[in-house]
Structure 1
Amino acid sequence: MAWHRWVAWEGARVWTSVRRAVTEAGPERDLAVQSLKAAGAAVLAWALVGWWWKAPMALMAPWTAVVLVQSTVYRSLRAGTQQLALIGIGTLLAAGAASLTENSMAAMALALPPAVLLGNYSRFGDQGLYAPTTAIFVLAYSSFSTTAIAHRLFEALVGALIGIGVNALVLPPVHLRDVRENLDRLGRDSAQLMRTVADDVESGYDRTSAGQWHEGAQRLCGAVEGLDRARGWTRESYRFNPGHRLRRHEPPPPDDWDAYWSGIVDRLASLTGTLVDTAGEWRRLAAPPDTVLGLLTELLRAAADACDMDRAALASPPAGETRGEAMKRAWEAHGRLKGCVPDHDHETATAVGALAAQTQQLLYTLDARPGRDGPG
């Protein structure tokens, strides 16, 4: 039956994730560690407040602790502050409504609208839910005496301290891998796009294939945005985090690489856009002659080789001489391509000149690789 295949497929996916979490460093392992820390924080909070102290509102401690093992220590601190404030406000709203109405149903009708409205305030994010849920718990269990309010807030505070402490002191999360993965992806995909364009141009391209190149370049622009987010994630993971001092790890590549790959992606988007305009029945630019397309193919393949070497340089010392040879081939092909401009009529020369200008900008960007003094 179909559901048997679905269960087998889901089981295989789960097993793969578990295996990766155990054997490989990656997102699955990070998620597993954070999940175990959250569970451990909740158990510790319950053991302290519920089992040892036998507090009347012991549920508040593990309930608070489990959600404060966030992806960064900074987020744990921020979420903890927001959560305690919202729990306090929800408790006070419920207690105030109960004292005014002396009826649980009427108190809920009075307290929940402002609590839900406050919880939906965008600055509180996911923590906003704590205002209305706390008010519901207070009214449902009629625990709105001064002593009950004090217990509730104190036990929430204990749970918050345990959750934040566990996250900060037990394998504190430091996010460095995302930056490297995004940089590697940009280098790999940029080189692959250049080779795809070169292969298609060599075999003859149309507007459909040119449009696919341009879409690929636009997707690379999305990867640049992902790199920006990863940088922000890394910077945030250092805030209030002893992990970068307690745990040894190699720092991410410098920010110069972000600007470098972003520049290459921008140049590829412009170049593929120009090629779109030279293809199809309703093209805006004249179709380049075969000689020019051959030189463009040679240039792009050499530039792709340079991109691959730059990508490898992030993990090991760069092979400068080999890269220099690739760039030399690219510049030589560009020089011959630019020399073709005067050999054609005005319309064709305009198209060839546009390609020459776009590829020249691409090569200058490649020459501006971080750690290089200049072209070559």
Structure 2
Amino acid sequence: MGMGWWRWLRWEAAAVLRAARSAVTGPGPERDAAVQSLKAAAAAALAWAATASWGAPLALMAPWTAVVLVESTVYRSVRSGLQQLVVVAAGTVIAAGAAMLTGNKMGAMVLALPITVLLGNYARFGRQGMYASTTALFVLAYGSYSLYDIGHRLLESVIGAAIGITVNALVFPPVHARSVRHMLYTLPRDSADLLHTIAEGLREAGDEGYTQEDAESWQDRARRLANAVTDLHTARGWDQESYRLNPGYRMRRRGRAAPPADWDETWDGISEHLKTLTRTLREAAPDEHDLAPPPSGALGLAADVLDAAGNVCEHDLHLLDEGPEEEREARRAADLDRAWEAHGRLKDSLSQLDGESSASLGGLVADMQRLLYALGPQLPLRSRAA
């Protein structure tokens, strides 16, 4: 158990170092996160300086509001700011009213907190709803409920919101186009790498076959690819939102336009077929008992199919940079043809089998056929020649 914790800590430390190195060496999600963190800290410091200097009764409200409003987009900062001002005002008034009715902090908490927690669960307030109850706690802890104090707290919240939104809008206003392009690169690159890895594993397996550990590793990577498709959908939403109310929109270099959303649907299908394929491989592993493993000769043919399919994915990766040039399209089509030709040979080998091995090989043949159709909606060479 101790060694497991140590490995986990080492992995986490390595991941943190990689993220820090990426933030320093080049643009990307890591640098964007670092910039937003520094902006939030600067906004909080400015809000504190603006309110503490004239003796605000609860100067904490301003930096607290400012730091949470340096959001991922300017539009989200404005929307969250309006939500938070309503929530803070409601929490302040409810807490002050409860304190005046009960005359003590404990009674006021018992009365105010259920109301503010319920208010915070109202869907229209989103993530900002939780601040209704925390604001009430701050008000009750400081113990001042006069109209003067309530007005100051609302003013401090307004100042903090204004500073947070202004910093986010004017200092490197966030735009998420890079996140979309990063995910667009991730899908074909990681799909190609997974397909080549499986092909290499099947070739090296020999007569003994691949191991269950290999198959589980392939399946885990295929699951992560499916998660990357979800991340791509999310990134596109962030990208569209990041241009709303963004004063830096026209000043940003925009680069080549990203492929349309149809690209996402294509890779959604490819990732699902890879999940199915790796599940079949896991179920047919020699040390599993779900399916009998395919013969080693058939695994070599399957490796040829997957290798060529991996090359097709690599061509899709390069097309993101260099556009649909005829030469690249021709090489992609040639690799897809090779994949279909190897698939035809694999299908022929299926007809020569009988017994339990034919079930696992038949599953692999069907999974690969669906994958190839997703990579290119064209018929196998023999069918096209006919």
TM-score range, shorter chain: 0.7 to 0.9
Gaps (5+ residues) in structure 1?
Answer: 1-8, 370-374
The equivalent position to 2:233 in structure 1, one of 216, 228, 244, is 228
> Could you tell which deviates more after superposition, 76-85 or 351-360?
351-360
**How many residues are treated as equivalent by the alignment?**
362
Gaps (5+ residues) in structure 2?
Answer: 1-10, 379-383
Q: 1:197 to 1:50 in 2, by over 3 A?
A: closer
TM-score normalised per structure 1: 0.81
Q: 1:60 to 1:272 in 2, by over 3 A?
A: closer
Q: 1:143 to 1:290 in 2, by over 3 A?
A: closer
The equivalent position to 2:250 in structure 1, one of 241, 245, 249, is 245
Measured after TM superposition, the shift of residue 56 of structure 1 is 5.1
1:169-213: CA deviations, max 9, x gaps? 322111222323233232222222222222222233245133443
Contact 1:120 1:128 in 2 (8 A): yes
Contact 2:28 2:179 in 1 (8 A): no
Measured after TM superposition, the shift of residue 301 of structure 1 is 0.9
1:246-267: CA deviations, max 9, x gaps? 3222344322222222222222
State the SS of the aligned residue for 1:69: coil
Q: 1:33 to 1:274 in 2, by over 3 A?
A: closer
- Aligned match of 2:36: 34
- Aligned match of 1:367: 376
Alignment of 1:163 with 2:164, yes or no, is: yes
> Could you tell which deviates more after superposition, 72-81 or 303-312?
72-81
Contact 1:91 1:138 in 2 (8 A): yes
CA distance in 2, matches of 1:186, 1:10: 24
One-letter amino acid of the counterpart of residue 320, structure 1: E
1:133-158: CA deviations, max 9, x gaps? 33334334443222332232133123
> Could you tell which deviates more after superposition, 216-225 or 91-100?
216-225
CA distance in 2, matches of 1:360, 1:71: 41
> Could you tell which deviates more after superposition, 82-91 or 11-20?
11-20
Contact 2:29 2:179 in 1 (8 A): no
Contact 2:282 2:288 in 1 (8 A): no
Q: 1:282 to 1:64 in 2, by over 3 A?
A: closer
- Give the superposed CA RMSD: 3.5
Alignment of 1:254 with 2:256, yes or no, is: no
State the SS of the aligned residue for 1:244: coil
Identity %: 54
1:314-325 correspondence runs (5 A): 314-318=320-324, 319-325=328-334
Contact 1:340 1:352 in 2 (8 A): no
One-letter amino acid of the counterpart of residue 334, structure 1: H
CA distance in 1, matches of 2:297, 2:15: 51
CA distance in 2, matches of 1:202, 1:135: 65
One-letter amino acid of the counterpart of residue 64, structure 2: W
Q: 1:239 to 1:81 in 2, by over 3 A?
A: same
Alignment of 1:216 with 2:230, yes or no, is: no
Measured after TM superposition, the shift of residue 244 of structure 1 is 3.0
One-letter amino acid of the counterpart of residue 75, structure 1: R
TM-score normalised per structure 2: 0.79
Measured after TM superposition, the shift of residue 67 of structure 1 is 1.9
CA distance in 2, matches of 1:107, 1:298: 73
